Amino acid sequence: MKSLISRALIPCLLLLQACSHAKNLQSEYSKVPLEHLLDSIGSYQHKKVEIRGYYVCGFEHTAVQPVIQTVSDNKSYDWTGRIWVEARRSKSGIGCDTLSNRTVLIRGTIDSSRHGHEGGYPATIRHAVIEVQ
Which segments of the chain does DSSP mark as H helices, in order? 2-27, 34-39, 96-99
Give which of 86, 91, 78 is closest to 38, Cα–Cα: 78
Residues 39 and 100 both lie in one domain: yes
Residues 68 and 128 both lie in one domain: yes
Q: What percentage of residues in the chain have a pLDDT greater than 70?
A: 67
- Work out how many domains the chain is built from and give that number: 2
The whole-angstrom separation of Cα 100 and Cα 11 is 40
Residues 73 and 128 both lie in one domain: yes
Residues 22 and 40 both lie in one domain: no
Residues 18 and 82 both lie in one domain: no
Residue ranges in the chain whose pLDDT is less than 50: none
CA distances to 5, 32, 69, 93, 131 from 114, rounded to whole Å, are 54, 19, 22, 26, 23
Residues 75 and 125 both lie in one domain: yes
The whole-angstrom separation of Cα 87 and Cα 106 is 9
Residues 15 and 74 both lie in one domain: no
Output the pLDDT for position 60: 73
Identify the domain containing residue 17 by its residue range. 1-28
Output the pLDDT for position 67: 83
Q: Give the residues across from 57 on adjacent strands.
A: 62
Question: Phi and psi dihedrals of 30, rounded to 5?
Answer: -85, 130
Residues 51 and 116 both lie in one domain: yes
Residues 23 and 66 both lie in one domain: no
Residues 117 and 81 both lie in one domain: yes
Residues 24 and 39 both lie in one domain: no
